[in-house]
Chain A
Amino acid sequence: MARRLLFSRKGRGRESPGGFGSNELRNPEREVFLFRRRLGVAGVLVLVAFGALFVRFVYLQVYQHRHFQTLAETNRIAIVPIVPNRGVITDRNGVVLAQSYSAYTLEIQPARVKDLDATIDALAEIVDVQPRDRKRFRKLLEESKNFESLPLRTRLSDEEVARFAVNRYRFPGVEIKARLFRQYPYGEIASHVLGYIGRINDADLGRIEQWDSVANYKGSDYIGKLGLESSYERDLHGKTGFEEVEVDAGGRAVRTLSRTPPVSGDNLRLSLDIKLQEVAEKAFGTRRGALVAIEPATGDVLAFVSRPGFDPNLFVDGIDSASWQELNESPDKPLINRALRGTYAPGSTIKPFLALSALTSGKRTPQQTIFDPGFFQIPGQAHRFRDDKPGGHGTVDMYKSIVVSCDTYYYMLANDTEIDDTARFLGRLGFGAPTGIDIEGEVAGVLPSRAWKRQRFRGEQQKWYLGDSISAGIGQGYNAFTPIQLAHAIAMLANDGDGRVPHLVKSVQSLKTGDVREVGRAPSTQLDAKPEHLAVVKAALAGVPKEGTSAAAFVNAAYASAGKTGTAQVYSLKGEKYSEHKVDERLRDHAWYIAYAPVDKPRIAVAVLVENGGFGAQAAAPIARQVLDYHLTGQTRSGPAAPAPAKESEDESD
Chain B
Amino acid sequence: MLIFLARMWEALTRRVDSFLFGVAMALAGVGLVTLFSASDQSMTRLASQAASLGLALVLMWIVANIPPQTISRAAVPLYALAVVMLIGVALFGTTVNGSRRWLNLGIARFQPSELMKIALPLLLAWYFQKFEGRIGWKDFALAAVLIAVPVWLIKRQPDLGTALLIGASGFYVLYLAGLSWKVIVGLAALGAGAAPLVWPHLHDYQRERILTFIDPSRDPLGAGYHSTQASIALGSGGVVGKGWLNGTQAHLDFLPERHTDFIFAVFGEEFGLIGAAVLLVLYLLLIGRGMMITANASTMFARLMAGAVTLMFFTSAFVNMAMVSGVLPVVGVPLPLVSYGGTALISLYIGLGILMSVQAHRKLVST
Contacts and interface: CB of A to CB of B under 8 A. Distances in A.
| A associates with B | yes
B248 A73 contact: yes
B239 interface: yes
A34 B176 CA distance: 9
Given A28-B367, A61-B235, A79 B318 contact: no
Contact of B134 (A6, A58, A62): A6
B330 interface: no
A39 B176 contact: yes
B191 interface: no
Contacts of A76: 248, 252, 254
Interface hub of A36, A62, A72, A215 (most chain B Cβ within 10 A): A72
Contacts of A6: 131, 134, 139
Given A6-B134, A15-B136, A39 B236 contact: no
Contact of A38 (B176, B222, B238, B287): B176
A20 B178 contact: yes
B215 interface: no
A517 interface: no
A10 interface: yes
Interface stretch (A41-49, A327-335, A427-435, A624-632): A41-49
A21 B235 CA distance: 50
Q: Is the interface of B mostly helix, strand, loop or mixed?
A: helix
Contacts of B221: 79, 81, 215-216, 218, 240, 242
Interface stretch (A169-177, A204-212, A288-296, A564-572): A204-212
A68 B236 CA distance: 5
B232 A68 contact: yes
- Of the listed residues A35, A57, A71, A242, the one surrounded by the most CB atoms of chain B closer than 10 A to its CB is A57
B200 interface: no
Contacts of A216: 221
B178 A60 contact: no
Interface in A1-31: 2-3, 6, 9-10, 14-21, 24, 26, 28
A319 B325 CA distance: 46
B244 interface: no
B318 A57 contact: no
A429 to B, nearest CB: 32
A131 interface: no
> Is chain A's binding surface mostly helix, strand, loop or mixed?
helix
Contact of B98 (A10, A67, A209): A209
B131 A57 contact: no
Contacts of B21: none
Given A17-B180, A242-B220, A214 B97 contact: yes
A182 B318 CA distance: 49
A21 B134 contact: yes
Nearest to B273: A61
Contacts of A244: 220
Given A26-B133, A212-B205, A215-B221, A61 B234 contact: yes
B20 interface: no
Given A61-B239, A72-B236, A46 B287 contact: yes
A19 B179 contact: yes
Interface string B298-339: 000001000100010010001001100111000000000000
Contact of A2 (B140, B142, B272): B142
A321 interface: no
A218 B291 CA distance: 46
B239 A62 contact: yes
Contact of A64 (B133, B135, B181, B235): B235
B80 interface: no
Interface in A52-68: 52-54, 56-58, 60-62, 64-65, 67-68
A69 interface: yes
A251 interface: yes
A3 B76 CA distance: 13
Given A14-B134, A21-B132, A50 B283 contact: yes
B181 A18 contact: yes
Contact of B97 (A58, A68, A209, A242): A209
Nearest to B272: A61
B333 to A, nearest CB: 14
A-B pairs, top 9 by smallest CB distance, nearest first, are: A68-B235, A19-B178, A72-B236, A17-B180, A212-B98, A215-B221, A18-B180, A215-B222, A61-B273
Given A16-B137, A56-B327, A215-B221, 8 more contacts: A16-B178, A18-B182, A36-B295, A39-B176, A46-B314, A211-B98, A212-B98, A244-B220
Interface of B: 95-98, 127, 130-140, 142, 172, 175-183, 205, 219-222, 225, 231-239, 248-249, 252, 254, 268, 272-273, 276-277, 280, 283-284, 287-288, 291, 294-295, 303, 307, 311, 314, 318, 321-322, 325-327, 367
27 contacts: A2-B127, A6-B134, A9-B138, A14-B134, A26-B133, A39-B176, A39-B294, A42-B307, A46-B284, A53-B321, A54-B276, A60-B235, A61-B239, A62-B238, A65-B238, A68-B232, A68-B234, A71-B236, A72-B232, A72-B235, A76-B254, A79-B220, A210-B95, A210-B97, A210-B98, A214-B97, A242-B221
